Amino acid sequence: MSKQHRTVLIVDNFPPDREVYRRYLQADLEYEYTLLEASSAEDGLGLCGVQSVDGILLDFSLPDLDGLEFLAELKKIPSGFHPPVIMITGQGNETIAAKAIKNGAEDYLVKNQITPQVLQLAVGSAIASKKVQQQLQQRIEQEKIVSQIAQQIRQSLNLAEVLQTTVTLVRQFLQTNRVVIFQIQPDGSGTAIVESVGEDWKSLISANLYSPYFISPHIENYRQGLITTKTAFYEAGIDKCYIEQLEQFQVKACLVAPLFEGEILWGLLIAHHCSSPRPWQEIDISLVKQLSTQIGIAIAQSELYQQVQSELAQRQQVEVELKESEAGLRLALAAAQMGTWNWNIVTGQIIWSANMEALLGFQPGNFDGSYALFVSRLHPEDCDRVLDAINLSVATGAEYNIEFRVVYPNGQTRWAQSKGQVFYNQTRQPVRMVGVHIDITTAQQLRAEKEELLQREQAARAEAEAANRSKDEFLAVVSHELRSPLNAILGWARLLKTRELDKETTNRALETIERNTQAQVQLIEDLLDVSRMIRGDLQLTMAPVRLATVIENTISSMSLIAEAKQIKLNSILNTGGQILGDLNRLQQVVTNLLTNAIKFTPQGGSVEICLQQDGSQVQIKVTDTGKGISQEFLPHVFDRFRRVDSSTERSTDGLGLGLAIASHLTQLHGGTVAASSPGVGQGATFTVVLPLFQSIRDSKPEISQEITLPLPLADIRILVVDDEVDSLELVELSLVASGAIALGVSCAANALEVIEQFKPDILVSDIAMPHTDGYTLLNRIREMKLVGQIPAIALTAFAQEEDIKKSLYTGFQRHLIKPVEPTELVKAILEVLVGASRVKVDKIY
């Protein structure tokens, strides 16, 4: 079975995409494709102007025009048929899709959602839909031509004018080269009496033709009313003499319809196609068939006018009915998916089209067509409005045009539009009302969806504006919180450098520098945590954890802060149950909640943390006697970038990220966190609920291990690489203080020069260094025979999850983030060395 053929134009500036569409379409088992390609809108429009295509695949983003501009330019191409366009874009966008469809696109596809089946179906549906539209448009044009000629016949007795209008309109409709009407003589010869011909073709007017072709057997076929078509004269087996006669007029295909005066063959309506052979369509034959009848009426009317005076009254009545029928037809053709109705106001009879049963929700055979049954289907809220509109139209002649709802027997509601016109007799009495009934449910849904999209867009815009304001406020707070500790650090550092301070003042300066440095470290960690939360990269290391221990350690670490504000810190730990979680992250949750409570509790207040079991869950409650939370802000207390007071006069410091981080970490542990407050000035309660891992009796206390030896790194050789001199000196000094034999170098090249001679037990290296980074340095060391298997620790400011993964993948045994406590660095070095069997286990414990 041979495939049907289609020609498709692909307009896309990305060759791989064009190749994908080509492969997808060529895989179609039902259709064979001729595929044209263009890489710009200009080339695509140029091809549309000279090449007949069945459909267009159009990329929305082209180098010279976007998809909407392409559609606008396509409409300007002078052509009887504009191919259907399927818009393709890289990402889904409801606004672009709506604009594309509104501007003439048949369909809209997203690139990463296209499959062979989706593309084949979209192309097939678009071509089929366009074909139906074309056929409908042709039908409309056909009815318009028939109606126009019929109207002229009724209004004019001038046969020559009617025939000239006919050939002109037929040639325009058929898009052919010549249309002529021959009047046949009794001997079979013919005379061209009217003609419409293109500028490039010879005229037949006044040429008397005589040919045996018009005699037997074809003359008999015409007398029987048969319409003849020839697609290609030279391949149709036509008499050679007739071909020779028509060669002088360049005829290659023709369509011939007989014209009758009553029962007598009067002439022929002939369409010639001269530029090429042509297959005539059913719509072409249907048009000339209808027009042959109309022309027969015009002929009879012109020649028998004097003889039909006695029938004038009857003819006028027929014309009135025909005019009313044509009015209904014009209304019906103005809409799609509609039913028609014709109401005789005098008799009360209504004639409905066959599809009105379905449009009103009736089963076949259950609709008697009565006015009362129609009214019974109206929605109760719309019934009076519809009846008032009908009565107004009947009384005044105003146009009847109304939208209303129809209720089906199953309760379904559909939207409909009804249009109609009242006709009056000579005494201005209403006698008939004709109109159409159109189902507009889909249009109403689209209208509602458009309104919803508009509301959503407005809400999204308002939310975005609020987010921008919050972001600006947050950035201002970040700047303040970064600069404030730096001011204290820089000030004390300069005093230490430029003045001789006593021991007490020096200790106070160092404590201040250390405290503010820790504040900045915590600030940066909070920002990094928020970044990880937004990207979904925040990872947990899960293990059984005893929450009581976590809370006790947190209270111990924060007791001094509470004492400084004379805040009483109470705890009630009613359970020692374990949960499955990340110890450090759970410590962070409790710390953030306690920090928040202490921060917003005035001097002399109290904070209580309670731990208790509730069935298969464990509950942590942190209650304070602080400033409380307003009911307006309570729903936003866990939002990122939200603060109760972001002004320059706020009474508390910090970024306000602690509660957002605590909430996210709780959710990652499968729990929930909630906030409550009676109001401003009445304190607040934060409740965390987490699932239990095992019963209390199975839990075991955790053992905290600390480095206690005075010289834990005694005799351990450590090579330190860092291009930042201050950091290098600090690390080297800390390691030497712990007993290590440390050698610091400022670049990878120096490290490679000394490593084999120094023979370190472990390498501590920065990552970001000029010329050669830490990854490359370690790769080169791994290639050395003597020291290639040395353990290594990355000490860097890179703190993202992907940075940690990359370090471990490259070959580092540990990834430490600057700044790092000296004890943490020492502990990490010992743990790595134990794992590499470079030192004994008792070196740590």
CB-facing half-sphere around the CA of 775: CA atoms within 13 A = 10
Q: Please state the rounded mean pLDDT for residues 361-373.
A: 77
pLDDT at 248 over 60: yes
Domain CATH number, residue 273: 3.30.450.40
Q: Do residues 292 and 391 both lie within one domain?
A: no
Within-domain flag for 318: no
Q: Is 417 a residue whose pLDDT tops 70?
A: yes
Residue 395 shares a structural domain with residue 299: no
Structural domain count, the chain: 6
Any residues with CB less than 8 A from the CB of 631 and at least 6 apart, and which?
A: 679
Domain membership flag for residue 455 = no
Final residue in a domain of this structure, among 138, 164, 179: 138
Query: Does 656 share its domain with 563?
Result: yes
pLDDT at 686 over 90: yes
For residue 475, the model assigns a pLDDT of 64
Closest CA to 250 of 347, 177, 343: 177
Going by their DSSP bridges, the two strands 684-691 and 717-721 should be labelled as unpaired
Q: What is the DSSP string of 793-811?
A: EEEES--SHHHHHHHHHHT
Quote the CA–CA distance of 541 and 551 in Å, as a whole number: 19
DSSP, collapsed to helix, strand or coil, labels residue 587 as: helix
The torsion angles phi and psi of 69, rounded to 5 degrees, stand at: -65, -35
In a domain, 314, yes or no: no
Specify whether 94 is located in the same domain as 188: no
Q: Determine the 3-state secondary structure of 226 from DSSP.
A: coil
Indicate if 513 and 556 belong to the same structural domain.
no
Q: Which of 18-32, 124-138, 490-504 has the highest mean pLDDT?
A: 18-32
Q: What is the pLDDT of residue 334?
A: 41
Who wins on pLDDT, 703 or 263? 263
User: What pLDDT, on a 0 to 100 scale, did the predictor assign at position 792?
Assistant: 95
Same domain for 800 and 728: yes
Q: Residues 622, 660: one domain?
A: yes
pLDDT of residue 721: 94
Q: Which amino acid, residue 834?
A: V
Least confident window among 521-530, 750-759, 771-780: 521-530
Residue-number span of the structural domain to which 791 is assigned: 717-843
Write down which residue in 531, 547, 580 finishes a domain.
531
- Do 273 and 295 fall within a single domain? yes
110 and 162 co-located in one domain: no
**Any idea what the CATH number is for the domain that residue 691 is in?**
3.30.565.10
In a domain, 527, yes or no: yes
Residue 55 lies in a domain: yes
Same domain, 558 and 511: no
Tokens of 592: 């953030």
Q: What is the pLDDT of residue 53?
A: 87
Residue 709 lies in a domain: no
Percent of the chain with pLDDT over 70: 81
Is residue 545 domain-resident? yes
Same domain, 691 and 556: yes
Intra-chain end-to-end CA distance of the chain, in Å? 85
Q: Does any domain span residue 526?
A: yes
Lowest mean pLDDT among 552-566, 607-621, 636-650: 636-650
Find the CATH number of the domain harbouring 490. 1.10.287.130
Average pLDDT, the chain: 80
pTM for the model stands at: 0.35
Would you say residue 236 has pLDDT above 90?
Answer: no
Asked if pLDDT for residue 493 goes beyond 50, the answer is: yes
3-state secondary structure of 537: coil
Instruction: Collapse the DSSP code of 496 into the 3-class scheme (helix H, G, I; strand E, B; otherwise coil) and give the result.
Output: helix
Could you tell me the CATH number of the domain that includes residue 806? 3.40.50.2300
The pLDDT of 58-84, averaged and rounded, is: 84
Same domain? For 675 and 742 the reply is no
| pLDDT tens digits, one per residue of 448-475 | 888 888 888 888 888 777 767 766 666 6
Last residue of a domain, one of 506, 531, 556: 531
Q: Give alpha helix (H) positions in 600-747.
A: 658-668, 725-737
Query: Is pLDDT of 217 > 70?
Result: no
d(CA 418, CA 396): 18
Q: Higher pLDDT residue, 722 or 326?
A: 722
SS3 272: strand
Q: What is the pLDDT of residue 777?
A: 93
